[in-house]
A = this chain, B = another copy of it.
Amino acid sequence: MAEEAAVRAQAEAVRRLKQDKADPDEIAKEVTKLLEMKARLGGDEGKHKFVLKTPKGTRDYSPKQMAIRERVFNAIITCFKRHGAEVIDTPVFELKETLTGKYGEDSKLIYDLKDQGGELLSLRYDLTVPFARYLAMNKITNIKRYHIAKVYRRDNPAMTRGRYREFYQCVNDRRILDGMFAVCGVPDSKFRTICSTVDKLDKMPWEEVRSEMVGEKGLSPEAADRIGEYVQLHGGLDLIERLLQDPKLSQNKLAKEGLGDMKLLFEYLTLFGITGKVSFDLSLARGLDYYTGVIYEAVLLQQENDHVEDPVSVGSVAGGGRYDGLVGMFDPKGRKVPCVGVSIGIERIFSILEQRVEASEEKIRTTETQVLVASAQKKLLEERLKLISELWDAGVKAEVLYKKNPKLLNQLQYCEDTGIPLVAIVGEQELKDGVVKLRVVATREEVNVRRESLVEEIRMRTSRP
């Protein structure tokens, strides 16, 4: 930067004046000038102190990473569209009070905007609460929507690395949990907070969860032990049947309702042929306050050596459930709209796919360019621009190097680097003959194509089989 250079020059001038034992007044004058210059630059010694980074917990996506992310998005969007879902969008921030009282203990992780006059705003914490606000505002009672957007949480992001083998889903029901809490002797007022503690079972062993219940949350040791017996259960239809016979649970209205619906769910899973992928798991709790019925998570199992038997779970990549009360919280008359949904953690799936791509050494293209317009001789910039203009107008994806007289070798190398499959070469002779030389980068094959057939030839050679 020019200003920094000026400061350095001034510092050098001062040093020389001192060295030459110049007039003290003159030295003082030049030192003052130096200090003023530094002050203007705003840093000591004119050093650039600014830290060049993205905010903590955020990241950029490079073109290669975006190409991988697009694959993840496409797989997900294709699935939603296959099931007839519509798409909506909502603003990245909401009125602060829209988010108030919806997330329980997680509310402290909400990003607020600074009060700069006007409304008090917060960044959205999930897509569920804005969706419920949207339904209530537009009085919609029937919609199947998907929504792909970023959400913001003031969390300490920890990215688990590792190799992953497969997904499985675990399922539970808030009513079964609440019924279980009731029959275990948890006071009503402690249901939500004990539920938050149960939710930590995927990250800490039962002993720690138990001691949080008894120590921090003030639950009786007996109640905690009774919970401990239930939350270690997991299975399928057989477990549901067994719990429906459980002398305590079967007496609880909520638990019975939840178990009845869980049974119906497993009947549908049987119809779809996917019971093997789903486990009914009494330890699944989900942290958020707003769930009212079935809850579920998709969990990744770590890739293991064949010797090891039980694959280790490395964490949830998707989760959701039923939230029948949320829209009613926004409706002036409290009208309820039953809702059920799932949230997919794109970031995690993305980083798994990224690792896989890296491991496979697959070459990822970041553009879709079909042809590079090139020339072997000099002074053909205008001809290159004319030709590429024709191709663009015909909808062909084409590039041209921006140099006036690029070397042919550099133009071919650019194709190798970026995966462009074809080169259209113009030269004096081709222009005279009314042809373009089309080169296939992979095979180095070259053919002369009549200029008027070029578009069709390129299309033919780049259409997917």
**CB under 8 Å from chain B, chain A span 392-416:** 392, 395-399
Q: Are A118 and B369 in contact (CB under 8 A)?
A: no
A90 neighbours in B (Cβ, 8 Å): 54, 60-61
Check if A214 is an interface residue, CB within 8 A of chain B: no
Q: Which of A106-132 contact B (CB under 8 A)?
A: 111-116, 118-119, 121, 123
Which residue of B has the minimal Cβ distance to A372? B84
- When A112-B113, A115-B114, A385-B272 are in contact, do A334 and B4 touch as well, CB less than 8 Å? yes
Q: Is A51 interfacial (CB-CB < 8 Å)?
A: yes
The answer to the question of A463 belonging to the interface, with a C-beta cut-off of 8 Å to chain B, is: no
Contact bitstring A75-109, B, C-beta under 8 A = 1, else 0: 00000011111111111111101000000000000
Q: Are B48 and A63 in contact (CB under 8 A)?
A: no
Question: When the two chains form their complex, are residues A332 and B366 in contact, meaning their CB atoms are under 8 A apart?
Answer: no
Number of copies of this protein chain within its complex: 2
Please classify the interface of chain A as helix (H, G, I), strand (E, B), loop, or mixed, using the class held by over half of its residues: loop
For the complex, what is the distance from the CA of A65 to the CA of B151, rounded to whole Å? 22
Partner of A61, one of B70, B89, B334, B389: B89
The interface residues of chain B lying within 8 Å CB-to-CB of A143 are 63
Any B CB within 8 A of the CB of A154: yes
Interface presence of A242 (CB below 8 A): no
Say yes or no for A460: interface residue by CB 8 A criterion.
Answer: no
B60 touches A1 (CB 8 A): no
Chain B residues closer than 8 Å to A398, beta-carbon distance = 82-84
Select which of B53, B61, B69, B272 is within 8 A of A137 by beta carbon.
B53
Q: Which of B84, B114, B123, B271 contacts A367 (CB 8 A)?
A: B84
Q: Does A386 contact B (CB under 8 A)?
A: yes
Q: How far is the CB of A458 from chain B (nearest CB, A)?
A: 12
CA distance A268 to B400 in the complex (A): 14
Query: Taking A97-B50, A115-B114 as contacts, is the C-beta distance between A91 and B60 under 8 angstroms?
Result: yes
Is the CB–CB distance between A95 and B51 below 8 Å?
Answer: yes
Chain A, range 37-53, C-beta contacts under 8 Å to B = 48, 50-53
Nearest CB in chain B to that of A59: its residue: B91
Which size class do A's interface residues fall under?
Answer: 35 or more
Q: Is the CB of A53 within 8 A of B95?
A: yes
A273-B63 contact, Cβ under 8 Å, with A50-B97, A52-B136: no
| Cross-chain contact A113 with B114 (CB below 8 angstroms) | yes
- Specify which chain B residues have a CB less than 8 angstroms from the CB of A60 in the assembled complex: 88-91, 134, 137-138
- Interchain CB contact under 8 A, A95 and B397: no
Interface string of A254-284 (1 = CB under 8 A from B): 0000000000000010011100000000000
Other than the given A63-B86, A66-B88, A112-B114, 16 more pairs (CB < 8 A) read A50-B330, A52-B332, A55-B91, A58-B93, A62-B138, A63-B143, A66-B89, A81-B367, A82-B392, A82-B396, A83-B397, A84-B397, A92-B150, A268-B385, A271-B382, A273-B389
Q: Which 5 A-B pairs have the closest CB atoms?
A: A63-B86, A58-B91, A1-B334, A84-B399, A61-B89
A-B pairs with beta carbons under 8 Å apart, 26 shown? A1-B334, A50-B330, A51-B95, A52-B133, A52-B137, A54-B90, A54-B95, A55-B93, A55-B94, A55-B119, A60-B138, A62-B138, A63-B88, A66-B89, A83-B398, A83-B399, A84-B398, A84-B399, A92-B92, A111-B114, A112-B114, A113-B113, A116-B154, A271-B382, A271-B389, A272-B389
Which residues of A come within 8 Å of B, CB atoms?
A: 1, 4, 48, 50-56, 58-63, 66, 69-70, 81-95, 97, 111-116, 118-119, 121, 123, 133-134, 136-138, 143, 145, 150, 152, 154, 268, 271-273, 328, 330, 332-334, 366-369, 382, 385-386, 389, 392, 395-399
